[in-house]
Chains A and B, each alone.
Chain A
């Protein structure tokens, strides 16, 4: 199995230009590429569009100041956010009200499915979720359609320039395994970006993850970064 290049978090962050669209796996920072995000903060990369369930946490699980992509928001490096919930990072609301941050909220299941569609070659998603709500006016909603008497919204597929995965174990071929609730959006995001970077707590030899238990296939991963062990 061909090995994937292992790079540093700083090298990974340098690959991402101003204005890039980045998918960040993770749910309130659980399953997020925390080391790469820290390096993006150091670089000050600007005008980013972030696609993630939420914008991380202003305070981490053990009282850390900033946890995950919240720091990119606080550092004013983000111009647009596509997310499902931003309540744990009040700064998002403040920048939105100040007119410096565009926020597109969509339902969690629709977000997962739109990303899955983006990575699975589908032209869209028809979902009953969001009918009769503000989602009908979302830039990600292309209209309404009736099928067998039931109303559905047609949602656009989501694709990105980069996907940053937060994995627990990654082998040298890029196969990934997520512990606990880390998996969340990572597995679909791994399929829906031009460049996929897997940050991992443990870089292991090929074969250590059982073939039946590979959550993200190495074929989807372009680069591996060894991050901090939590």
Chain B
């Protein structure tokens, strides 16, 4: 699989986590591909931290709702509100996030560990873009799912213990990569699904934390 195929594969698997009516926040990059893989009849309320509850499709230049100065997403790209959606101010919006009104957030990671700790906002001395709304989402969303490539240039990103400064502790419930699906349990990482292109040993070799293989290990592909 090339980079784009890997991203699409992960996004497609993430889409299976969602059911009709879920309120979902999607991080930048890969997570924004998830709505493209939703089964028929699954309609989400897309939550955008900039202030949209029920975001719509990305408008193109020339569309009636193309308004890059007044309706944008957290990446600064032009956005839209879905029919029935609404705009909201930041204080109320983050009250909804912290208050557990967002069903799921999908986001990438620099590192994630067997305790569900997540690091994705700073590389000290190198990059410090900031956490934006990520800390609030990880703490507040009812289900925090990391979706990412299993390794970075061959180096494990799934660790026993995160080394980078945390975004939030004990927040990640599930990790979805091109290799497998891992659940974060009290006893560490449990592999519940595997991509049949890989062996269990290959997954373990690419992971710097112990993995327990579920007795009911399934294929990631239907």
Contacts and interface: CB of A to CB of B under 8 A. Distances in A.
Interface string A177-188: 011111111111
Contacts of B130: 54, 83-87, 105
Interface string B47-90: 01111100000000000000111111111101101000001111
Interface residues on B, range: 35 or more
Nearest to A187: B89
B211 interface: no
B165 interface: yes
B167 interface: yes
Nearest to A230: B69
B132 A108 contact: yes
Given A83-B130, A180-B70, A181-B52, A109 B136 contact: yes
B76 A85 contact: no
11 contacts: A27-B72, A28-B50, A28-B74, A28-B75, A105-B128, A105-B131, A107-B136, A115-B91, A127-B98, A133-B167, A179-B70
Interface string A132-154: 11110000000000000000000
B66 to A, nearest CB: 11
B68 A61 contact: yes
Interface in A171-220: 178-188, 215
B90 A85 contact: no
B9 interface: no
B154 interface: no
B24 interface: no
A183 B87 contact: yes
Interface residues on A, range: 35 or more
B90 A188 contact: yes
B122 A181 contact: no
Given A84-B131, A85-B131, A230 B91 contact: no
Given A86-B129, A188-B91, A215-B89, A109 B97 contact: yes
A101 to B, nearest CB: 12
A144 to B, nearest CB: 13
A26 B140 CA distance: 23
Nearest to B134: A107
A43 interface: no
A173 B135 CA distance: 38
